[in-house]
Amino acid sequence: MTEQDAIIDEVVNSEYKYGFVTNIEQESAPKGLNEDIIRFISAKKEEPEWMLEWRLKAYKEWQKMTEPAWANVHYPKVDFQDVVYYTAPKPKKNLNSLDEVDPELLKTFEKLGISLDEQKRLSGVAVDVVFDSVSVKTTFQETLKEKGIIFCSMSEAVRNHGDLVKKYIGTVVPQKDNFYAALNSAVFSDGSFCYIPKGVRCPMELSTYFRINAAGSGQFERTLLIADEGAYVSYLEGCTAPQRDENQLHAAVVELIALDNAEIKYSTVQNWYPGDKDGKGGIFNFVTKRGMCKGSNSKISWTQVETGSAVTWKYPSCILAGDNSIGEFYSVALTNHFQQADTGTKMIHIGKNTKSRIVSKGISAGKSQNSYRGLVKVHKKAENARNFSQCDSLLMGNLCGAHTFPYIEVSNNTSKVEHEATTSKIGEDMLFYFQQRGIDEETAVAMIVNGFCKEVMDHLPMEFAVEARKLLEISLEGSVG
């Protein structure tokens, strides 16, 4: 392991001390949503006036909107007045040793290969002080500072880097973009902000607080990531370990902006509580993620592994505005039991010679429903635009469903668009081949599924890829036979 990896490893395994948690008072807002609540949130975060106004504008737009019903998912209606929009993180019950942790959870950790220390942290066991090495983290912080990289929480950014936030927030996902984005814009609690200055290549993978900060930043997170000219950053979000979250509704917004020659790689592993085997409970995950290739020769790449949440509604998209810009989307969406996922991407080609690539792998098992919904749009001016899309679905069991809704809109005759989709199940012959060689059915299925997803997994950063593979195996346990 190189020194760099060692640093990353240490940091991702340690507590986050930049002030996400400690500065916030233990106080909650009353239930419901109105202007006063937004003022309250804004005041709590000591935000400048323009931010409050921005939130209020979003709230006004939100009031005019109705919940979208077009997605291929069904869930009980959310009462938006029954939600607490601001809660300071509750102090976690500190356990004394791993023996007190739910053995089911420990089993999962073990299978994922999560280190003992991290296991403790994730399950809320008091972490050894020695493990929380301050010096390593300082090194990490200094490295970033030296390069001029800003990486902090959203609230901090609003306070300390107001000009940057003001310039870019809402430029990719405007307040009135959609129902959930408007809601998020009005009440977002926190999130991450990242700015990579001109010509800087971020020397390490940036992970969000999910791994750093166990308390999380609540249900309405907002992430803004800007890569200035010639910059490069790889950003990780999420965690393979199961997250037990009390908030049922999650409406996050992620905005990426890549200027000339910049590249952003954004990877997500989402494993939130999917509900139990009978489909009770589970998280509603309604996320708006969008990247703007603003400059020429810029590149944005989304990679996601979605295995959690009861209902997922998520379309990480790329607007390819700059000439020669590239958008990529690699996705594995696995649904089991009663999970429902409606996910996909949008590739909007505006600039000349823009390229996009979509690889989506859907796996449905149990009684779940898995949909791919995508849009490839080639504007009239997008000379020589090129798109390749592939969406494959794998069905396991005869009670699940796999659906594809690809929209293709082409208005330029020098462009080339290709789309292909297949749906099938694991063939008896494939299983037979494995079994003949002494590999039992469950392992065989796991291997086939991993092979099916390999193309996407290869795009995940190393440390995620290993865990994500195991995660797929665990998520499918018991669905064969």
Partner 1 sequence: MTQQLENILPILQDEHQKQALQNAMNIGVPSMKNEEWKYTYFQKIWQQDFNPILSSATFDFNDIKTFIDNNATSSNRLVFVNGQFQHELSNLQNHPAINFWNAKNTASTNSNDFLLELNNALSTDGIFLEIGNNVVVDDLIEIFYLHSIAAPFINIKNKIKIGKNAVVKFAEQFINYDEQTAYYNTVTTLEVAESANIEWNKIQDGGNNFYITDNMHIEQATKSICAVNTFSFSGGITRNVLTYDVNGERSESHMNGLSLLLNNEHVDNRTLVNHNVANCESYELYKNILGGTSTGVFNGKIIVAQAAQKTNAFQSNRTILVSNDATINTKPQLEIFADDVKCSHGATSSQIEDSELFYLQARGIGKETARGLLVFAFGEEVVEKINHQPLKEKVEKRVAEILKIEL
What's the burial of 114, exposed, middle or buried (CB within 10 Å: 0-12/13-18/19+)? buried
Least separation in angstroms between residue 365's CB and partner 1 is 9
444-473 burial, b at 16+ Cβ within 10 Å, e below that, comes to: bbbebbbebbeebbebbbebbbebbbbbbb
When the beta carbons of 45 and 386 are compared against partner 1, the nearer one is 386
When the beta carbons of 199 and 401 are compared against partner 1, the nearer one is 401
When the beta carbons of 131 and 388 are compared against partner 1, the nearer one is 388
When the beta carbons of 89 and 397 are compared against partner 1, the nearer one is 397
- 375: alpha, beta or left, given left = phi > 0 and alpha = psi -120 to 50? beta
When the beta carbons of 250 and 352 are compared against partner 1, the nearer one is 352
Q: How many of the other CB atoms lie within 10 Å of CB of 17? A: 14
When the beta carbons of 413 and 436 are compared against partner 1, the nearer one is 413
What's the burial of 112, exposed, middle or buried (CB within 10 Å: 0-12/13-18/19+)? buried
When the beta carbons of 193 and 372 are compared against partner 1, the nearer one is 372
Cα separation, 419 vs 407, whole angstroms: 10
Least separation in angstroms between residue 395's CB and partner 1 is 4
Least separation in angstroms between residue 310's CB and partner 1 is 20
One-letter amino acid at 121 equals: R
Cα separation, 415 vs 37, whole angstroms: 49
Least separation in angstroms between residue 309's CB and partner 1 is 21
Cα separation, 454 vs 137, whole angstroms: 33
Least separation in angstroms between residue 405's CB and partner 1 is 5
Among 242, 245, 270, 216, CA closest to 112: 242
Least separation in angstroms between residue 139's CB and partner 1 is 51
When the beta carbons of 70 and 91 are compared against partner 1, the nearer one is 70
Cα separation, 365 vs 325, whole angstroms: 37
Among 461, 456, 462, 459, CA closest to 472: 456
Token code pair at residue 130: 């020695």
Among 214, 208, 235, 186, CA closest to 63: 186
* Strand-pair partners of 406: 374
Residues that bind partner 1 (CB under 8 A): 70, 378, 380, 393, 395-425
- Alpha helices per DSSP H over 376-461: 428-436, 441-457
Cα separation, 238 vs 461, whole angstroms: 13
Cα separation, 276 vs 310, whole angstroms: 9
When the beta carbons of 67 and 420 are compared against partner 1, the nearer one is 420
When the beta carbons of 223 and 353 are compared against partner 1, the nearer one is 353
CB-based contact 227:198 (threshold 8 Å): no
CB-based contact 136:19 (threshold 8 Å): no
Can you say how many angstroms the Cα of residue 142 is from the centroid of all Cα atoms in its chain? 27
When the beta carbons of 214 and 385 are compared against partner 1, the nearer one is 385
DSSP 19-85: SSSTTS-S-BPPBS--HHHHHHHHHHTT--HHHHHHHHHHHHHHHH------SS---PPP-GGGSB-
When the beta carbons of 204 and 430 are compared against partner 1, the nearer one is 430
